[in-house]
Amino acid sequence: MDGEKFDKPMTVADGLFADNVFSMATGTAGDLWIGSFGGMAHGAGEI
């Protein structure tokens, strides 16, 4: 992610629980939280 958009689509191969994402949020430290069917994925640093 370059701060405005993702460089490539994220999939289960990148650690998501499913390819369908229904919510995204950033934490106070700039980390990314992604909600998908099956659970919540958390990424820090380079996404």
pLDDT tens figures, 10-43: 888 888 888 888 888 888 888 888 888 888 887 7
CB atoms within 10 A of CB 19: 13
Q: What pTM does this model have?
A: 0.61
Show the tokens assigned to 37. 């069917």
* DSSP 3-state of 21: strand
C-alpha span between 14 and 29 (Å, rounded): 21
The predicted pLDDT at position 1 comes to: 54
The predicted pLDDT at position 29 comes to: 83
